[in-house]
């Protein structure tokens, strides 16, 4: 029997990249995983198929987060698959977009979009999920190493992730009496489709990114998924209100 047998997990933004790796890892640990996606149905179905091919259980649920009606759409999809008020033992807030630009380059539209997707969605998805998270449940939010490392070239993005870390700190205190742990995982530079445009195919960018990490390489989605799986497990029952740095020691 695996560590998360009998648990149900919701992973937002799980069709590709870090979210997919998290979904696959939680399923491998025995959880039934709701694979949320925004638009790419094929990618989400591929994630579910990969999980099922390894003997795991998962289903896809569409909801584009950061737009009006997003939370209602997400939970309507969950109810269709699980039944109304079915427990959500593990919530992983992973959905996010990167908005690049210095303070001079960032438009109000870019700023608002970044906060809508990265911060507002996590807040209200968590708010809706709370009555369904049993005592002793787990909430894990994927933030970023840019909350520790100055990143002026994507200042609005960094601000959204900093807000999430404050959200986690307050929520951990609030939910402590219920035994629900609330933590962050902060990745560094990870080889994902989101970073493909500037990272893959550019040897200089790849070498520079690897050189920033004390461990001397670019991160992988599985690196992050392993940390999330730990925080979702029973072994992390005495860890709450904190951020686990998963940057490979970048910019130490």
Answer whether residue 114 is part of any domain.
Answer: yes
Task: Supply the range of the domain harboring residue 18.
Answer: 8-191+224-242
pLDDT at 198: 65
pLDDT at 203: 83
Mean of pLDDT values over 167-189: 97
Answer whether residue 124 is part of any domain.
Answer: yes
pLDDT at 102: 98
Helix axes of 41-53 and 17-28: crossing angle, nearest 10 degrees? 30
Query: Is pLDDT at 81 greater than 80 in this prediction?
Result: yes
Mean of pLDDT values over 29-43: 97
Answer whether residue 197 is part of any domain.
Answer: no
Higher pLDDT, 108 or 193: 108
Answer whether residue 1 is part of any domain.
Answer: no
Answer whether residue 230 is part of any domain.
Answer: yes
Answer whether residue 34 is part of any domain.
Answer: yes
Spatial separation of the C-alpha atoms in residues 230 and 240, rounded to whole Å: 12
Query: Is pLDDT at 246 greater than 70 in this prediction?
Result: yes
- The angle at the Cα of 33, spanning 27 to 39, to the nearest 5 degrees, equals 120
Q: Name the nearest CA neighbour of 182 among 213, 141, 143, 210.
A: 141
Q: Percent of the chain having pLDDT more than 70? A: 98
pLDDT at 173: 98
Mean of pLDDT values over 128-153: 97
Query: Is pLDDT at 1 greater than 90 in this prediction?
Result: no
Spatial separation of the C-alpha atoms in residues 106 and 118, rounded to whole Å: 16
Q: Where are the alpha helices (DSSP H) in the chain?
A: 17-28, 41-53, 70-82, 108-115, 121-129, 155-175, 196-199, 203-212, 221-232
Answer whether residue 219 is part of any domain.
Answer: no
Query: Is pLDDT at 117 greater than 70 in this prediction?
Result: yes
**Least confident segment among 69-78, 85-94, 208-217:** 208-217
Answer whether residue 209 is part of any domain.
Answer: no
At 144, the pLDDT band (50, 70, 90 cuts) reads very high
| pTM for this predicted structure | 0.96
Mean of pLDDT values over 127-155: 97
Question: Would you call 101 exposed, middle or buried from its count of C-beta atoms within 10 A (0-12, 13-18, 19+)?
Answer: middle
Query: Is pLDDT at 125 greater than 90 in this prediction?
Result: yes
- Indicate which residue of 37, 75, 111, 157 is catalytic: 157
Strands 90-93 and 181-187: unpaired
Average pLDDT, the chain: 95
The domain spanning residue 107 has which CATH number? 3.40.50.720
Mean of pLDDT values over 150-166: 97
pLDDT at 229: 98
Query: Is pLDDT at 201 greater than 90 in this prediction?
Result: no
- The answer to whether the CB of 159 falls within 8 A of the CB of 144 is no
37 catalytic? Reply is: no
Spatial separation of the C-alpha atoms in residues 83 and 201, rounded to whole Å: 45
Q: How many domains does the chain have?
A: 1
At 199, the pLDDT band (50, 70, 90 cuts) reads confident
Write out the two tokens for 39: 């638009």
């Amino acid at each position: 029997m695996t560590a998360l047998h009998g648990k149900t997990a919701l992973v937002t933004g799980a069709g590709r990249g870090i979210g997919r790796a998290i979904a696959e890892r939680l399923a491998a640990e025995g959880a039934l995983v709701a694979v949320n996606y925004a638009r790419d149905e094929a990618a989400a179905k591929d994630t579910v198929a990969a999980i099922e091919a390894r003997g795991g259980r998962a289903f896809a649920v569409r909801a584009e987060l950061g737009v009006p009606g997003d939370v209602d759409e997400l939970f309507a999809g969950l109810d269709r698959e699980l039944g109304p008020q079915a427990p959500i033992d593990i919530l992983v807030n992973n959905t996010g977009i990167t908005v690049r630009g210095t303070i001079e380059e960032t438009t109000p539209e870019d700023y608002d979009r970044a906060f809508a997707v990265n911060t507002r969605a996590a807040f209200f998805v968590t708010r809706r999920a709370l009555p369904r998270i049993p005592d002793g449940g787990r909430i894990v939010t994927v933030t970023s190493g840019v909350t520790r490392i100055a990143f002026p070239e994507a200042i609005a993005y960094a601000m959204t992730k900093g807000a999430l870390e404050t959200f986690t700190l307050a929520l951990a205190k609030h939910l402590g009496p219920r035994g629900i742990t609330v933590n962050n995982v902060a990745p560094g530079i990870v080889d994902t489709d989101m970073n493909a445009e500037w990272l893959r195919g550019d040897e200089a960018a790849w070498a520079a990114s690897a050189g920033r990490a004390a461990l001397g390489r670019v991160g992988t989605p599985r690196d992050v998924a392993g940390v999330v799986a730990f925080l979702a497990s029973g072994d992390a029952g005495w860890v709450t209100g904190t951020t686990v740095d998963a940057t490979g020691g970048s910019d130490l």
